Structure 1
């Protein structure tokens, strides 16, 4: 999942479907593993949109 996290914050933003195909993972597996990231971001009032691979929240918080 480290690869996915790095891609999410880089300028290259592949769709989650493309990432899953290249890594031979199901979307369900990726969503399940990234739920940890959602828990980490919650105290900062940030959200992570898995479909668009973007961080959502106050600019100051990001």
Structure 2
């Protein structure tokens, strides 16, 4: 169950990163450079969560 939840969480981090980049808003209004860096960091973490979840699912099978 945790592995599938990790995939879902990773997807939501990617979506949140895209939203931060597009709207430049995350709790407060962000400067464009900060929004790009935070968005990229959220997207990278989302990809990390998805890859880690896929690896764990393959190892459990």
> Which of the pair is proportionally richer in helix?
2
**Scaled by the length of structure 2, what TM-score is found?**
0.30
Between 1 and 2, higher relative CO (CA 8 Å, sep ≥ 6) is seen in: 2
TM-score w.r.t. structure 1 length? 0.30
Q: Which protein shows a greater Rg?
A: 2
